[in-house]
Structure 1
Amino acid sequence: MFPIRDHNPSGRTPYVVYTLIILNFIVFLSYQPIMSDDYRLTLFFHDWALLPGEVMEGRRLHGLVTSMFLHGGWMHLLGNMLFLWIFGDNLEDEMGHLGFLLFYLLSGLGADFAQIAADPDSLIPMVGASGAIAGVMGGYLLLFPKARVDILLILIIIFRIFTVPAWVMLGLWFGLQLFNGVASDPEAGGVAHWAHAGGFVIGTVLALPIWLKRGGPRYWKTTHGHPPHPETKYRLTQSSVPRVRRRR
């Protein structure tokens, strides 16, 4: 289950979102030639990724920022950029370009420290923009809880698109991060669930001043929980792949 679009594209051009997406692609392509060389890739990530154990010793602090622009593969990159493209534009519209950029970076740092707190001695490289993007999702949930989001649900051979309120999709996503963070072994590597959960919480907290400035609960009543501009109407919000019946 993952989102494919929302029904409220930004009211103005989200230059920061576009710039972040382009930067992430440029950085990924810059080390694409060594992706098939495990030894060189390991050395590269050791130099530029986030290593919690190193940060706790006061070394390689640059990894707190550079890790946000590294990805472990094409699916990792494309998935993160899809989430940023869907949820980032409306926040940039509300926060302004510089405000959103600061929000994004602070959310990413918050996600870094959440993962460090969960496993402070780890020397497993952590890469990806998902911590910062989780912050974007947390801010989106606070400001636009009822915005309509189309999600693609894949169940073996069944593909369906559903339209759900943002609070359903984002709430489920956050709950899964908490559950997987508790259930998983941090020393085993894999997905940095605590970075996702931490970034989400930090993003929600960072968006609070804007929400309160807009009037808090009154802002929800005024906008009905949607971004404050006209909703886009899509022709097809639900679709499915037809089932093939078994012949007798």
Structure 2
Amino acid sequence: MIPIGDNIFLFAHKKPYITYVLIGISIGLFLWELKLELGNGLGNELGYTINHLGLIPAGITNAIAAAISGNSAAWVAVIMSSTGIFTGMFLHSSFAQILGNLLFLWVFGNTLEKIIGHCQFLLIYLTGGILTGLLQVLVEPNLTVPLIGGNGAIASILGAYIFKFPKVKIDSVLPLLVVFIPVQIPAFYYLFWWFIQQFFYGIGSLNIPPSGANQFSIAYWMHGIGLLFGAGYMRICKKR
């Protein structure tokens, strides 16, 4: 199921600039990843980059343990390793992952940003991504495989959208072999479809040595918490 757009035309004159910027950054960095992968044909440059800019839970927990044990210099390592929680949000490990994430960001983020404004939209996106990153570290602190992608941040946007417009029909395309059937799907349906499509994000994976990225572990599925964060944030705003 491929979402195309919705039928909400409120604030049509507004431009979702933050959505444009986030999509542009993600595409630009993915093209850079492709260049690194093709640099020597082995993906070594790409592997080095992902392992330094991605989120590696074990790197953070080991640095924290060393710092707590009395090694004051280790606090620098804590800061450096923790930056992956932020930088990892803008990197992707496969064609399927970036296409799926940016499609969801465009369809659901486009309208949501126009309704709640640029600042709140960016706040939900970044906070959702950072929150899910922290949870990934807490849930699987010994994981040595880098976790990358904006899944958690985009899940937050999806959760906020569905809370705001649960009954809105999403224009979608149902691919059946070589036939594409246009259909309209209630927005809340994509709450479930988001989890299903995570299984397909390995399609077109980049060569990221030594151990790849985004291992399907308990930590990886912490992205789903972003849905609850987005919905919870909108509920708080509604009460206010």
- The normalised TM-score by structure 1 is 0.74
Name 1:189's counterpart in structure 2.
Answer: 215
The structural deviation recorded for 1:6 is 1.7
Residues 157, 190 of structure 1: alpha-carbon distance in 2 compared, 3 angstrom cutoff: farther
The structural deviation recorded for 1:66 is 0.1
Name 2:151's counterpart in structure 1.
Answer: 130
Give the 5 Å matches for 1:83-162.
83-162=104-183
**What amino acid does structure 1 have at the position aligned with 2:184?**
T
Residues 168, 76 of structure 1: alpha-carbon distance in 2 compared, 3 angstrom cutoff: closer
Name 1:49's counterpart in structure 2.
Answer: 54
Q: Tell me whether 1:212 sits opposite 2:239 in the alignment.
A: yes
**What amino acid does structure 2 have at the position aligned with 1:153?**
L
Provide the secondary structure at the position in 2 that maps to 1:121. coil
Name 1:6's counterpart in structure 2.
Answer: 6
Residues 35, 195 of structure 1: alpha-carbon distance in 2 compared, 3 angstrom cutoff: farther
CA contact (8 A) 1:143 1:211 kept: no
| Residues 144-166 of structure 1: CA deviation (Å, up to 9, x unaligned) | 10111022223445532220111
CA contact (8 A) 1:111 1:199 kept: yes
Structure 1: distance between partners of 2:22 and 2:165: 22
Q: Tell me whether 1:38 sits opposite 2:40 in the alignment.
A: no
Name 2:26's counterpart in structure 1.
Answer: 24
**What amino acid does structure 1 have at the position aligned with 2:17?**
Y
The structural deviation recorded for 1:190 is 4.1
Instruction: Answer with 69-78 or 99-108: which moved more.
Output: 69-78
Q: Percent identity?
A: 33
| Residues 212-245 of structure 1: CA deviation (Å, up to 9, x unaligned) | 23xxxxxxxxxxxxxxxxxxxxxxxxxxxxxxxx
Residues 128, 150 of structure 1: alpha-carbon distance in 2 compared, 3 angstrom cutoff: same
The structural deviation recorded for 1:10 is 5.9
Provide the secondary structure at the position in 1 that maps to 2:82. coil
The structural deviation recorded for 1:176 is 4.2
Q: Tell me whether 1:71 sits opposite 2:76 in the alignment.
A: no
Residues 177, 83 of structure 1: alpha-carbon distance in 2 compared, 3 angstrom cutoff: closer
CA contact (8 A) 2:54 2:148 kept: yes
Structure 2: distance between partners of 1:90 and 1:9: 8
The structural deviation recorded for 1:33 is 1.3
| Residues 159-183 of structure 1: CA deviation (Å, up to 9, x unaligned) | 322201111222x235648999xxx
CA contact (8 A) 2:163 2:231 kept: yes
CA contact (8 A) 2:147 2:220 kept: no
**What amino acid does structure 2 have at the position aligned with 1:4?**
I
Structure 2 residues not aligned, in runs of 5+:
65-77, 201-212
Name 2:101's counterpart in structure 1.
Answer: 80
Count residues with an aligned counterpart: 206
Name 2:225's counterpart in structure 1.
Answer: 198
**What amino acid does structure 1 have at the position aligned with 2:215?**
G
In the TM superposition, structure 1's runs of 4+ consecutive aligned residues that sit over 6 Å from their partners are: 177-180
Structure 2: distance between partners of 1:65 and 1:10: 32
Residues 28, 82 of structure 1: alpha-carbon distance in 2 compared, 3 angstrom cutoff: same
| Residues 46-101 of structure 1: CA deviation (Å, up to 9, x unaligned) | 11001111122343000000001101233322221111010012221232111211
The structural deviation recorded for 1:112 is 1.2
- The normalised TM-score by structure 2 is 0.76
Provide the secondary structure at the position in 2 that maps to 1:35. helix
Provide the secondary structure at the position in 2 that maps to 1:56. helix
